[in-house]
Amino acid sequence: MTATARKAQPVSEATASPKTATVVAMPLPARRAFRPQAMLATLGRNVLPPLVVVMIILGVWQIACSHPGASLPAPSQIWTDSADLITSPFFNNGPQDIGLAWRVLISLERVAMGFGLAAIVGVIIGAVVGQSVWAMRGLDPIFQILRTVPPLAWLPLSLAAFRDSNPSAIFVIFITSIWPVIINTAVGVRNIPDDYRNIARVLRLNQLEFFVRIMIPAAAPYIFTGLRIGIGLSWLAIVAAEMLTGGVGIGFFIWDAWNSSRLSDIIVALVYIGVTGFILDKLVAFVGTIVTRSN
């Protein structure tokens, strides 16, 4: 048999050349490089515009109120009159002579109690109301009417009921801030998809499990919208209530400064109030962002 006529014999595994395994290195995730220029640019976009606006306002204010006989003090005069309140917010010279930071903290303590109760009770009532169409139709007009009552209108009733300024102020905060929490929670519960309810029936969840595991996470964006509105109303209510109930809070400080004709101190206190309210709003929004993302 010639070499061209022979069939090729199969090569056995023993005589076959071994195959070498190739190890492929997976690329590591690229690390985000630290870019100081990008951080400075972001900081400039967020900080520079409001800073420029504030400087313009202060400049116009200084020019308009620097002449003799001006009804309001100029920024330079405010610094001269109230430098201790600006540079030393935590001084403590006695029960009634404390820095504005301490007064803000005392007011925040009352806000925490009143708003905390409003958040808990409001979410529970809103969840119950949102579960029933008839309850929503019957109670929503009442909620809409009560939420328009000014905070100070509740103060005489609370003083008559509690006969003490501190619980009266906390009640005013509670009754003022609870309505947006109830309304937004009820709307959020009403908008829960039917698929979520069907899943709860399949899993045979009881009312408490449905409330904790499905209802609250699904309605969280609406709930935190109500909480953001409520925290702003709470801060407004405590300042107004403290003007009449007394104490050492920031609201009473403004009323006392007005009686003593200290306009510079009032303006500084207003800045403290505005900054604190801004921080409270951003804090609730930040918590809401974390909660809604985790869901």
pLDDT digits (tens, 9 = 90+) for 184-211: 999 998 888 888 888 888 888 887 888 8
Q: How is residue 99 annotated by DSSP?
A: -
- pLDDT exceeding 90 applies to what percent of the chain? 39
Query: Residue 137: CA atoms inside 13 Å, Cβ hemisphere, count?
Result: 3
Query: Residue 44 corresponds to which amino acid?
Result: G
Query: In which band, very low, low, confident or very high, does the pLDDT at 164 lie, cut at 50, 70 and 90?
Result: confident
**Any residues with CB less than 8 A from the CB of 67 and at least 6 apart, and which?**
none
CA–CA separation, 155 and 61 (whole Å): 36
d(CA 101, CA 81): 18
Distance CA 215, CA 159 (A): 37
State the total domains in the chain.
1
Instruction: Round to whole Å and give the CA distance between 213 and 221.
Output: 15
Which residues span the domain enclosing 122? 99-247+270-294
Is position 264 within any domain? no
User: Does a structural domain hold residue 19?
Assistant: no
pLDDT in tens, 49-96: 888 899 999 999 999 998 888 888 999 999 999 988 888 888 888 777
Domain assignment present for residue 243? The answer is: yes
Whether residue 79 lies inside any domain: the answer is: no
Does a structural domain hold residue 45? Answer: no
Amino acid letter, 269 = A
Strand partners, 272: none
- What is the CATH number for 234? 1.10.3720.10
In a domain, 229, yes or no: yes
Residue found by looking up tokens 């993302």 in the block? 293
Radius of gyration of the chain (CA): 32
Domain assignment present for residue 289? The answer is yes
Residue 48 domain flag: no
Whether residue 177 contacts residue 231, with contact meaning beta carbons closer than 8 Å, is answered with yes
Axis crossing angle, helix 263-294 with helix 216-245, rounded to the nearest 10: 170
